[in-house]
Structure 1
């Protein structure tokens, strides 16, 4: 973030400030009092389990240049009122500051949304563009009403590009975030059965995701997964170029050949251009094609892009191949929904192994009234793909075992656990030397605990015991 004076920020967010406000320089923005750096402006946000106003005094102790608080908030006694900006709502003020700051950025702003693969696509774009340009992408998966403004405010004036990941779990969120970001390039990479609890149907998910297109600046570009016709129908942006990608013949950029071997994808674009990507998962070829289209829009040649992809690595907990003693673990534990579960299952079913394929699958969240149906369908697909062992974790685990057995799996090869720590404690009774073990589930399931259980098993020769809450 470029350096601003405290009173300049006061004016930009229409805040009320002290008459004797000092000429303090603000060099960054922070919403977590534990991470404050000297010179930061601390936004006191209210959450379900915390209230940032309780940490205003600590923020000043750690060197905050100022704080943004809500006008009706109770504040600790003795805090420095001269460096305090008062607003109606601190979350809205954060978004407002980001929106104003976005107008001062001269680099190309690229926004990525979709039901699956947003973080991987963002990292692919960032990886390619960084070979020639100066820029950055969203930190981790900062893609909501707090993370997106922080990403914008984290950009430097001299950056050539910024890649912003945009997520949503309820109607209207893309409208808000799109208005803050106003991208030069918007990539709508896919739609699927995600966040159905908030949207009710895939059609409503598509409507929400495609809303990003209307915030693209005039003369910009909308990059869209053209195999999903509903997305093409919903995008109405006459003052921006639409570029479609996918497998279908009508796409502007399409995959015309695809082969996969252990940990590598080899694919052809438009029957002419050859690429190799050192990752698992054929679904990642579309994430990569999105990045290729963005890079072409930014002036890259195809051979330059191909060379840039050679050393790409997937983000953490996205189909990471992790050897642990005599086991091979495919760590896909970051998150899950029905579409990403199907993609991961496809990877496991094709992965070469010396012994057995084991799928340790955690529950999928935010599926609303469809939740049980999707879990039963997953169990049926696991059986149909000839997976040797299923360890289901979460609320629907018992039902998944019954469904898998009825679909042909052996009862002795199906296990049900209430939580990841229970699965971690029992994993040693399930897996055998030489097994390939896929671990995946929604973020709240914390399925990485199962992987920690496997590590403990290897290092201590016994399963890790559960800890009582």
Structure 2
């Protein structure tokens, strides 16, 4: 973070500064800001966020012992540390992030990209950050820091020497993207797709469209909207861009895309395609597993080109990326039994893409095994969407469908109803039951996909299987 005095931070937050005897109002701080005392080091700022199960105020003393310079709290504490009392710690995070980014932007060359979409945000964020990092200091979220806490924490890592900020914007409730993107007003906004992820929380696909479109409404006037030319709902966001005097750049596999992929070939080693952008064409070998990541790569390239990166450099840097993120199409195991751990998150679109990838990369004589858990946050659409995934798995001729957990049982029943009734579909009550079953069931030549929403916990099952068959 940039260097600020305690008094300045208190003023920005509208908070009450309570000084430790060792400090004054003009004492400065420039360390990392975090809500987890375990990540606090000397000179950092600890934010005591109340939670559903734990209260950050209980860890202020631990943060002080770890060397925190100051704490942001909602009530006065007895710990030996200067602290700033504010009405809302999470709101204070947002206020501080807004101030820090605006100040750096006013005095430097900071360029800001915002990314949203029902799927692919984290992969695209990582690919874009990889491209930009060779151009200058780049700040991007760790893991999926894209919510009301994670996004501001990422923004607060910006310093006077930062050239690029890549922000990922997720949403679990209406209005969240507008609030978060509004903190920084990106120079460029990327919308990947509008799908059924979180549809239960938004009330349907049209409400999801409205939420995702808020990123384009938050991009500064005169900025750039990077839009998926192959998704009709994303295409409709061009009208919003026009209203805000933004330039639109299209990516996709259709002829209308400014940055386009053709001749796509998928294998267990990754995906090859011919990239065409601004009249130039060149081959790309993407090592990140899954054909669906081609669109994420195109989005990252389009954004990077707008920030002045040469096309050849975009491709060279992307081709060094082997894994977009842990638990996202992560190859584990061995050539004997290959495990693909994609169980960090799941939506109907990402589940379908992962199943298609499994079918595409499995050679003749090898067996496809899909270990599937529940897709969360679908609300009233959960039943039909699990049915649809079961139908797809059967039509792709997945040879063994292992469904894990009570919340996913409908997927198992639907698979049986679609024809997987002769032992092809198996139901396990728990991840432990599935692990025991798979240790005995898997054999040489199996290609195994482990896929579920984070809440189902199958990512740890994938890790265990990867270790067992390494």
TM-score > 0.5 by shorter chain: yes
Counterpart secondary structure, 2:159: coil
Measure the CA separation in 2 of the matches of 1:387 and 1:284.
21
Q: Which residue of 2 aligns with 1:301?
A: 310
Report if aligned partners of 1:325, 1:458 keep a CA contact under 8 Å in 2. no
Measure the CA separation in 2 of the matches of 1:36 and 1:108.
28
Deviations 1:238-284 (A, max 9, x none): 33211122222223322233222332222223384122211221111
Q: Which residue of 2 aligns with 1:228?
A: 231
Moved more, 342-351 or 425-434: 425-434
Report if aligned partners of 2:375, 2:382 keep a CA contact under 8 Å in 1. yes
Measure the CA separation in 2 of the matches of 1:160 and 1:15.
30
Q: Which residue of 2 aligns with 1:191?
A: 194
Instruction: Check if 1:63 corresponds to 2:74.
Output: no
Moved more, 285-294 or 214-223: 214-223
Moved more, 351-360 or 375-384: 351-360
Q: Which residue of 1 aligns with 2:9?
A: 9
Measure the CA separation in 1 of the matches of 2:329 and 2:250.
27
Q: CA deviation at 1:61?
A: 1.9
Correspondent of 1:44 among 48, 58, 76: 48
Deviations 1:292-323 (A, max 9, x none): 11111111222222222221122111112223
User: Judging changes above 3 Å, is the alpha-carbon distance between structure 1 residues 43 and 398 closer, same or farther for their aligned structure 2 residues?
Assistant: closer
Q: Which residue of 2 aligns with 1:34?
A: 38
Deviations 1:59-111 (A, max 9, x none): 222221111111xx4x55x4347x12111111001100000111022311111
With normalisation by structure 2, the TM-score equals 0.92
Counterpart secondary structure, 1:412: coil
Measure the CA separation in 1 of the matches of 2:127 and 2:295.
11
Q: Which residue of 2 aligns with 1:108?
A: 111
Counterpart secondary structure, 1:175: helix
Instruction: Check if 1:256 corresponds to 2:262.
Output: yes
Measure the CA separation in 2 of the matches of 1:214 and 1:453.
44
Report if aligned partners of 2:45, 2:69 keep a CA contact under 8 Å in 1. yes
Moved more, 198-207 or 255-264: 255-264
Report if aligned partners of 1:397, 1:418 keep a CA contact under 8 Å in 2. no
With normalisation by structure 1, the TM-score equals 0.92
Correspondent of 2:319 among 310, 314, 318: 310
Measure the CA separation in 1 of the matches of 2:181 and 2:467.
45
Measure the CA separation in 2 of the matches of 1:166 and 1:305.
23
Divergent runs of 4+, >4 A: 455-459
Instruction: Check if 1:151 corresponds to 2:167.
Output: no
Measure the CA separation in 2 of the matches of 1:321 and 1:62.
37
Measure the CA separation in 1 of the matches of 2:73 and 2:272.
52
User: Judging changes above 3 Å, is the alpha-carbon distance between structure 1 residues 419 and 146 closer, same or farther for their aligned structure 2 residues?
Assistant: same
Report if aligned partners of 1:113, 1:188 keep a CA contact under 8 Å in 2. yes
Moved more, 242-251 or 285-294: 242-251
Q: Superposition pairs for residues 74-85 of structure 1, below 5 Å? A: 78-80=78-80, 83-85=82-84
Q: Which residue of 2 aligns with 1:437?
A: 448
Measure the CA separation in 1 of the matches of 2:8 and 2:209.
39
Q: Superposition pairs for residues 76-155 of structure 1, below 5 Å? A: 78-80=78-80, 83-105=82-104, 106=108, 107-155=110-158
Deviations 1:142-180 (A, max 9, x none): 000000000000122111111111100110001110111
Moved more, 388-397 or 148-157: 388-397
Counterpart secondary structure, 1:329: strand
Q: Which residue of 2 aligns with 1:328?
A: 338
Instruction: Check if 1:375 corresponds to 2:386.
Output: yes
RMSD: 1.9
Q: Which residue of 1 aligns with 2:211?
A: 208
Measure the CA separation in 2 of the matches of 1:290 and 1:456.
34
Q: Which residue of 2 aligns with 1:347?
A: 357
Gaps of 5+ in 1: 460-469
Q: CA deviation at 1:325?
A: 7.5
How many matched pairs? 454
Counterpart secondary structure, 1:409: coil
Q: CA deviation at 1:452?
A: 4.0
User: Judging changes above 3 Å, is the alpha-carbon distance between structure 1 residues 254 and 11 closer, same or farther for their aligned structure 2 residues?
Assistant: same
Report if aligned partners of 1:355, 1:435 keep a CA contact under 8 Å in 2. yes
Gaps of 5+ in 2: none
Q: Which residue of 1 aligns with 2:246?
A: 240
Report if aligned partners of 1:45, 1:91 keep a CA contact under 8 Å in 2. yes
Q: Which residue of 1 aligns with 2:281?
A: 273
Counterpart secondary structure, 2:167: strand
Q: Which residue of 2 aligns with 1:357?
A: 368
